[in-house]
Amino acid sequence: MDLLIKNGTIITTKESYVADIAIQDEKIVCIGTNLMMEADNVIDASGKLVLPGAIDVHTHLAMPFGGTVSADSYLSGTRAAACGGVTTVFDYPIQRKGKGIVETVKARKEMCDPEACVDYAFHCCITDLNSDALLDEFEAAIAFGVTSFKCFLVYKKEGMMVDDASLVKILLKAKEVGAITNIHAENPDLIDLNVEKFLKEGKLSPWYHYLSRPEFVEAEADKRAIHWAKSVEAPLYIVHMADKEGLEAAIAAKLAGFPIYIETCPQYLEFTCEVYKREDGRNFVCSPPMKAQESQDALWDAIKKGTIDTVATDHCPFQSYEKDWGKDNFTKIPNGCAGIENLYPYMLSAANEGKISFNRAVELCSTNPAKIFGCTEKGSLTVGKDADLVIYDTEKDFTVSVSNMHSDYDHTIWEGKKLHGYPVQTYVRGKLVYDNGDFVGEPGFGKYIKRVPNK
């Protein structure tokens, strides 16, 4: 054997039990008690949890956005991922006017290949259907391993928005080829009306970022997308859900049997809109913004009841000097925050404190993302799957600081956050990439994951 992990408590979505895990040629080959086989490397995980690596299905690495490029490259972003127990990262290439899907994704794959420290996959954001020609490329995208397409219902001025007719065409085509449509739901016209008013009134602080895109701005777009998805019976994945009204509509559709999936992010579970009143409020500017307490309570309630499917980060950090562009005008702040290294530690710490079970944390951060997005080799500690795993110390206390993160950004909204329990090792396909505070992996080791359509 290449690796034998002994006596850890293995966590699946359903069970927690003490066993040994044997790994050979990047795969889990045996799970059992008192495994006696020879191994090149034996790890004693007594008293520790052994979990499947997290799959962060929502990141924006090296993304041109907000007049700049997000601060984490494929190298630093996936390095940070490894150090937070994330073993697969999904990025969002953006197809631009006149461009194809496969050429867009291929270009980003070429950038990512030599840099990736963990495994990676791509969704593709569609911004221009090229007069419907692009729909004919969906099959080729599937063959390339891209089985999810994202529509921004917002970012109209940025030239990234799709209108409702395009959304419906994409929903239908995605359904036909066994893909899924992801949406960012906010209403740009409502935002523009609010922004115009606040600018005229000289209301320019980050608080007005929130007030220009409050709860109903997100809820309107959530409900519209759900309406269209239901009407054509197509699968829909709502990214970074942050508001109670939209959440309730999505849950109602899901419980009525429609294939509606809901993602939220740690920042919406931890912070409320009150952060925009802080001195450093601009650092928290992201879209959709954090909402009021009522929405946060609804999100936690859905996490506990099982109606939210995934937690992912929307990792899209910018440097302080870039966030400062908007210190006197909230509309100039690049939108996005860091989170890739905080996702799993945050959700596992919530489990360690008894808010949810460890099994549920695994379901939200690993098993469901793998199932929804066709990563057939990932997402659980099962014989035959990739040996992507995290060893977690429930007793280790950790305080997040920019100085103990492994990204390239210079500040984090998670600064000072105290966590009880922390990952001590991360393995990607059996290779140790994170060891007790240090990145020990290798850029370029991460492999492109060709995903399988839902057919």
Minimum CB separation of residue 238 from ligand URP in Å reads 12
State how far the Cα of 166 lies from the Cα of 151, in Å rounded to an integer: 9
Task: Count CB atoms within 10 A of the CB of residue 189.
Answer: 11
Nearer to ligand URP, 286 or 308 (CB): 286
Structural contact between residues 359 and 12, judged by C-beta atoms closer than 8 angstroms = yes
Size, binding site for ligand URP by CB under 6 A: 8
Helix (H, G, I), strand (E, B) or coil at 282: helix
Whole-angstrom distance, CA of residue 152 vs CA of residue 11:
35
Pick from 316, 365, 391, 433: which binds ligand URP (CB under 6 A)? Answer: 316
- 263 residue type, one letter: E
* Residue 246 in the binding site for ligand URP (CB under 6 A): no
Residue recorded with tokens 């090296």: 62
Which is nearer to Zn ion, 184 or 451 (by Cβ)? 184
Residue span 6-45 as binding mask against ligand URP, x where in contact by CB under 6 A, dash where not = ----------------------------------------
Closest distance to Zn ion from the beta carbon of 265 (Å):
9
Between 224 and 431, name the residue whose CB sits nearer to ligand URP.
Answer: 224
Q: What is the phi-psi region of residue 371: left when phi exceeds 0, alpha when psi lies from -120 to 50, beta otherwise?
A: alpha
128-132-136 Cα angle (round to 5): 110
Residue from 9, 205, 264, 335 touching ligand URP (CB under 6 A): that is 335
Interaction between residue 287 and ligand URP (CB under 6 A): yes
160 binds ligand URP (CB under 6 A): no
Shortest separation between residue 160's beta carbon and Zn ion, angstroms: 10
What CA–CA distances, in Å, run from 168 to 8, 125, 136, 226, 266? 48, 15, 15, 11, 30
Q: Is residue 264 part of the contact set for ligand URP (CB under 6 A)?
A: no
Work out what residue 336 binds among ligand URP, Zn ion, none; the CB cut-off runs from 5 to 8 Å by kind: ligand URP
Select from 175, 184, 223, 254 the one that contacts ligand URP (CB under 6 A). Answer: 184
Which tokens is 296 given? 């946060």
Q: Which backbone phi and psi does 275 adopt, to 5 degrees? A: -60, -25
Select 161 or 251, whichever has its Cβ closest to ligand URP: 161
- Under the binding rule (CB under 6 A), the answer on residue 81 touching ligand URP is no
CB of 111 to ligand URP, least distance (A): 18
What Cα–Cα distance (Å) separates residue 46 from each residue in 2, 20, 229, 267?
19, 10, 47, 32
Selected from 336, 369, 379, 430, the binder of ligand URP by CB under 6 A is 336
For the CB of residue 365, give the shortest distance to ligand URP in the complex, in Å. Answer: 18
Kindly tell me which residue out of 286, 311, 387, 449 binds ligand URP, with binding defined by CB under 6 A: 286
- HEC sequence for 101-165: HHHHHHHHHHHHCCCCCCEEEECEEECCCCCCHHHHHHHHHHHCCCCEEEEECCCCCCCCECCHH
- Please give the residue ranges that form the binding site for Zn ion (CB under 5 A): 184, 314
Q: Which residues pair with 124 in a beta bridge?
A: 149
Kindly tell me which of 412 and 426 has the beta carbon lying closer to ligand URP: 412
Kindly state whether residue 182 participates in binding ligand URP, applying the rule CB under 6 A.
no
Question: Shortest approach of ligand URP to residue 422 CB, angstroms?
Answer: 26
Give which of ligand URP, Zn ion, none residue 170 binds (C-beta under 5 to 8 Å, depending on kind): none
Shortest distance, position 59 Cβ to Zn ion, whole Å: 8
Q: Which of 6, 60, 213, 323 binds ligand URP (CB under 6 A)?
A: 60
Query: Measured from the CB of residue 3, what is the shortest distance to ligand URP in angstroms?
Result: 36
- Is 228 in a helix, a strand, or coil? helix
DSSP-assigned letters across all residues of 173-222: HHHHHT-EEEEE---HHHHHHHHHHHHHTT--STHHHHHHS-HHHHHHHH
Closer Cβ to ligand URP, 184 or 254, answer by number: 184
412 forms part of the interface with ligand URP (CB under 6 A): no
Residue whose C-alpha is closest to residue 397's, from 358, 359, 349, 339: 349
Nearest distance from residue 220's CB to ligand URP, in Å? 17
Cα separations in angstroms, 351 against 49, 56, 295, 397, 422: 12, 18, 21, 14, 11
Q: Residue 213, interface with ligand URP (CB under 6 A)?
A: no
- The length of the chain is 455
Q: How far is the CB of 58 from ligand URP (least distance, A)?
A: 7
- Amino acid 396 reads K
Binding site for ligand URP (CB under 6 A): 60, 184, 286-287, 314, 316, 335-336
